[in-house]
Structure 1
Amino acid sequence: MEREEQEWIESPDGWGTKEVCRANDDDGDGCIDLFGNDDPNEYFTFTIQLDSGTTKTLQLHGFKLDSEETDRSTGVTLWQAAPRLASFLQIHPEVCRGKSVLELGAGLGLCGITAHYLGAQSVMMTDGDTQTLQQMRENVRQNCDDNHISCRQLIWGSPHMENFVIQQGKYDTVVGADVIYTHDSVQPLLDTVACLLERPHGQFVLSRFSKWNNVDDEIVIDAAKQRHLTCTRPSEGIFIFQWDEIC
């Protein structure tokens, strides 16, 4: 069954609801067709090392980094923090194995699909961006063959996250890769993590590669502290947030 979703686009320049013109819009109001440039498509491959000693190669359909699609909708390409996070999960499969996993800003779905193949009990991949969700769902259909992975819209912040937790519950592990593009998105992101992360042993694994719009790591870490989440940095660009002892 198709889900009711709010039309919503995230670009590197801003965060929030934007008007989107569809390719079949005939009213000629001057909006840009997001999917109208020549051959913007690209396929990204990533190989997962499985516990069995075998490998699984994923092929994710998205759009070129320099395409108009990516310029207007950040999640329709593969940013460098996603392979970094997927590789970290392979080195530390205990983060996912047997756990309920939620991915925020899942984009093309690399990290969530990786968590699935690393033995997650269940995976919920989310994005606010409606264009991105289309690509994510197609990638799940092409790369996964069971029903333990879902894709849903989640726009960070209240009341959307509160409705989400009522419907879906909380998660043992929350992950996100290059999900911070503006200062305005930091507080809603951490509010969402605090709302959806299981207590007391849940953990939020964040991968950062680019510091968009000068959002420094300390800004994110301080916002997490305000929500009783403490940070460790096990490797370059990887941040793990866990509930502090008073929680």
Structure 2
Amino acid sequence: MFRMMNAQQPGDQTAGNTTDILHDFQVSFFAMRRLATFPWTFLEKELANEKTSELVSDILKQTCLHPLCQKHPPSVKYRRLFLTELIRRQEAAEAEPLDELYDALGQVLGAEEGAECYKSYILPCGGAVSLLESVAVISDGTTGLVTWEAGLYLAEWALDNQQAFSGRTVLELGSGVGLTGITVCRSCGPSRFVFSDCHRSVLQKLRDNVRLNGLDGRTGPGVRVEELDWGAATEERLREIGANIVIAADVVYDPDVIGCLVKLLSRILRGSSPPEGPPEVLISSTIRNPDTYNCFKLQLESAGISHDVITGPVSHVFPYNRVSAIELIKLYI
């Protein structure tokens, strides 16, 4: 695994600010955030004051020249746009030229863009969760080949509540590319973790990402990747999994599948109980369409399933759009 930024030195405010900015550039770059969200204003002020390229060089070392970028690079187009913007800001400030910056741009200008790229999410403990994702939002007829905000939020909640997963068997519904589950496996100490999805393309990508992050059964918790059709999953199958806690993120988006999802959740809560009682069930949702989300809650109520909204702040670990309305609920009967 790769170590990321070193912690700032206590009492050194300038070094602290610079370290924070370098960290912001790094986490935003590897997660392929929109360039407009980067802390360009700080960079411009530093360049105007110093007229040197030292900070630009440090940014380059934490992004395009970082070992993680050599192994799991963001898309070619993204790196090209990032470097072009970095050069534009440097030249506008009339700072001293930096050969490494132009060399890095020259390398990506000659590279071919593929249908897939890597996104990496920096963990508080050091290292990163790296995911091979589709460049397109919708690919192979599914949205499951990219990471969505509710999954990032649930992963942050898990990092703040590691005791909820420690030593337990976890089932994740609709795992997608695997960000939430891999974060839990890497940081929260579950005894077993079952990733699941029903789309073949998603399952293949999911298996690739699980292996990519070293969760191949040789180290860490026992990990399985399984096909799980919500409409066909039997109580016997769910009992075999024996989950103590069930999680899901961004699974409430299509009115046509809500009925199957609610029936599955009912089977999980009523028929797949391990010896210590029904599993905990946590659902994280980005509320894009309030009518669809309210329909989900009404169907839960009709099925005799109650819910509590889990409130309170979570630590901001991953970069994503926090303007979106995201709700995390706990289900029970």
Query: What's the TM-score, normalizing by structure 1?
Result: 0.72
**Structure with larger Rg:** 2
Displacement of 1:39 in angstroms is 2.2
- Contact 1:42/1:63 (<8 A) preserved: yes
Aligned match for 1:206, one of 283, 298, 302: 283
Query: Are 1:128 and 2:192 matched, yes or no?
Result: no
Displacement of 1:132 in angstroms is 0.3
- Contact 1:229/1:241 (<8 A) preserved: no
Counterpart-to-counterpart distance in 2, 1:96 and 1:176: 14
Displacement of 1:91 in angstroms is 1.1
Question: C-alpha offsets along residues 181-216 of structure 1, whole Å, 9 cap, x if unaligned?
Answer: 31121111121122234544422111111435x643
Unaligned runs of 5+ residues in structure 2 are 1-112, 312-324
Judging changes above 3 Å, is the alpha-carbon distance between structure 1 residues 47 and 161 closer, same or farther for their aligned structure 2 residues? farther
Counterpart position of 1:241: 330
Query: Are 1:64 and 2:140 matched, yes or no?
Result: no
Aligned match for 1:87, one of 156, 177, 194: 156
Displacement of 1:75 in angstroms is 0.8
- Contact 2:287/2:293 (<8 A) preserved: no
Counterpart-to-counterpart distance in 2, 1:241 and 1:228: 14
Judging changes above 3 Å, is the alpha-carbon distance between structure 1 residues 215 and 144 closer, same or farther for their aligned structure 2 residues? farther
Counterpart position of 2:305: 229
- Contact 2:268/2:279 (<8 A) preserved: no
Query: Are 1:110 and 2:179 matched, yes or no?
Result: yes
Displacement of 1:160 in angstroms is 3.2
- Contact 2:166/2:191 (<8 A) preserved: yes
- Contact 1:183/1:215 (<8 A) preserved: no
Counterpart position of 1:144: 214
- Contact 2:255/2:292 (<8 A) preserved: no
- For 1:99, the aligned partner's letter is R
Q: Give the 3-state SS of the residue equivalent to 1:136 in structure 2.
A: helix
Unaligned runs of 5+ residues in structure 1 are 1-37
Displacement of 1:41 in angstroms is 1.2
- Contact 1:203/1:240 (<8 A) preserved: no
Aligned match for 1:165, one of 207, 223, 238: 238
Calculate the aligned-residue CA RMSD, in Å.
2.2
Q: Give the 3-state SS of the residue equivalent to 1:216 in structure 2.
A: helix
- For 2:249, the aligned partner's letter is A
Instruction: Could you list the structure 1 runs, at least 4 aligned residues long, displaced by more than 6 angstroms after superposition.
Output: none
Counterpart-to-counterpart distance in 1, 2:243 and 2:176: 19
- For 2:147, the aligned partner's letter is L
- Greater strand proportion: 1
Query: Are 1:189 and 2:261 matched, yes or no?
Result: yes
Judging changes above 3 Å, is the alpha-carbon distance between structure 1 residues 228 and 47 closer, same or farther for their aligned structure 2 residues? farther
Counterpart position of 1:9: none
Query: Are 1:40 and 2:115 matched, yes or no?
Result: yes
Work out which structure has the larger RCO, using CA pairs closer than 8 Å and 6 or more positions apart in sequence.
Answer: 1
Judging changes above 3 Å, is the alpha-carbon distance between structure 1 residues 145 and 239 closer, same or farther for their aligned structure 2 residues? closer
Q: Give the 3-state SS of the residue equivalent to 1:74 in structure 2.
A: coil
Percentage of identical aligned residues: 22
Counterpart-to-counterpart distance in 1, 2:303 and 2:242: 16
Query: What's the TM-score, normalizing by structure 2?
Result: 0.54
- Contact 1:101/1:115 (<8 A) preserved: no
Aligned residues: 198
Counterpart position of 1:100: 169
- Contact 1:99/1:173 (<8 A) preserved: yes
- For 1:44, the aligned partner's letter is K
Q: Give the 3-state SS of the residue equivalent to 1:58 in structure 2.
A: strand
Displacement of 1:65 in angstroms is 4.1
Counterpart position of 1:5: none
